[in-house]
Amino acid sequence: MSEGRYIYCIAECSEKLSLGKIGIDDNDVYTIPCQDISAVVHDCSRKSHKSKGDDIVKMWTMTHECVVESAMERWCGVLPLSFDTIVKAEDGRSLEGVVMDWLEEEYHKLKENIDRVKGKLEYSVKVFSDTKIITERIVKSDEDLPEETAHTYKLKLKDTLRQRIQEETARYYHEFYKDIRSAVNDVKVAKLKGEDEQGQMLMNLSCLCGEGIADKLGEQLEKISSIRGFSVRFIGPKPPYSFVGAQIEVK
């Protein structure tokens, strides 16, 4: 017996429709409408999707994204929800009734968020800096710093040099952010994740782009990557998960 409804997304759809057995574990995916919006769901148990196997969780996540993408191909206005969003039965009420009540209660917030992301996709942008190259550039351009500092900074950075590096990277950050923000519809700043093979992460952004906007974003990223000491990692497009809105909570 199903005691929950797994919600993939909210779509601008006023009809109860079946999307077929495209859900997680080949579940039948269908819509539960309320006014002119619908929850795209499948029947499930109350339990969250947990597994000791990373491959299984990855497969579930990919299926979730595929269902959302299928909904986006069908309807222009789609608000993707995060993986494993489940509405559970309560007080003997029907699950469809619980979902419809939630849609009714959150209708204005959901519509506002759908309108904000309608026809738009998300791109992940990460900018990395090469500290050594930036340090060498500072040393060469600053008469107050000796040349040998560039060769010994890994052992003991002088306070002055450390401060100049912080100032320089902050200047680039604000410059890059301004250029990227001007090229897209919206931006969310994500947590930095340190250093990897591309260097020290300077910024980690999620960018919301409508039709034709991604090309403008690409132009700005090409400019950034052409500056010696900086590289860019660009991933997308994908459904705009980062722009759902913190106020959207499924009870």
Tokens of 115: 């309108």
The residue with greater pLDDT, 221 or 140, is 221
51 versus 206: which is more confidently predicted? 206
Domains of the chain: which residue ranges?
4-117, 121-243
pLDDT bucket at 250, cuts 50 / 70 / 90? low
> What is residue 249's predicted lDDT score, i.e. its pLDDT?
60
- Using a pLDDT cut of 70, give the percent of the chain over it: 87
Residue position matching structure tokens 């506002």: 112
Angle between helices 131-141 and 159-183 (to 10 degrees): 110
pLDDT at 164 (0 to 100): 82
39 Cα distance to chain centroid: 21
DSSP codes, 189-225: EPPP--EETTEEEEEEEEEEE-TTHHHHHHHHHHHHH
Mean pLDDT of all residues in the chain? 86
Residue 14 has pLDDT above 50, yes or no: yes
Q: Return the higher-pLDDT residue of 6 and 94.
A: 6
Strands 4-11 and 78-80: antiparallel
pTM: 0.81
CA-to-CA distance for 180 and 199, rounded, in angstroms?
Answer: 20
**Residue 148's pLDDT is what?**
52
Identify the weakest region by mean pLDDT among 15-19, 34-38, 85-89: 85-89
pLDDT digits (tens, 9 = 90+) for 98-132: 999 999 999 999 999 999 999 999 999 999 998 88
The mean-pLDDT minimum among 47-61, 75-89, 96-110, 208-222 falls in: 47-61
Question: Residue 247: pLDDT band by 50, 70, 90 thresholds?
Answer: very low
Contact 29, 18 (CB under 8 A): yes
CATH topology of domain 121-243: Alpha-Beta Plaits (3.30.70)
CA angle 27, 30, 36 (to 5 degrees): 160
Confidence band of 237 (pLDDT split at 50, 70, 90): very high
